[in-house]
Amino acid sequence: MSTLQYRLPQKRCLVTELPGPKSTALAARRRAAVGAGVTSVLPIYVADADGAVVVDVDGNSLIDLGAGIAVTSVGASNPAVVAAVQQQVARFTHTCF
């Protein structure tokens, strides 16, 4: 098994309160534009993710303790998964909210 190389440091680092000002502004924009029936419990807006870390739009790095099965198994932004997704979306995409 090969050693994984990560783009992002695999550690928690807070640079603002949570949620930060950019996440707060995005939440207000969402409330104004999206019906209340479509919800999210995450108080931040993710800008990047790698391995077990997500970085929000305010620059806070957080350990992803809410990851789903796929991310828990292979990590966020795993290069093999990214390549497979790119190959698939070149053929067909279907988006839902």
What pLDDT was estimated at residue 58?
98
pLDDT tens sequence for the chain (97 residues): 567 789 999 999 999 999 999 999 999 999 999 998 988 888 999 999 998 899 999 999 999 887 777 677 777 888 888 899 899 888 887 777 5
Rounded to two decimals, the pTM is: 0.75
In the chain, where does DSSP find H-type helix? Answer: 21-33, 69-74, 79-89
Concatenate the DSSP letters of all residues of 66-84 into one string: T--HHHHHH-BT-HHHHHH
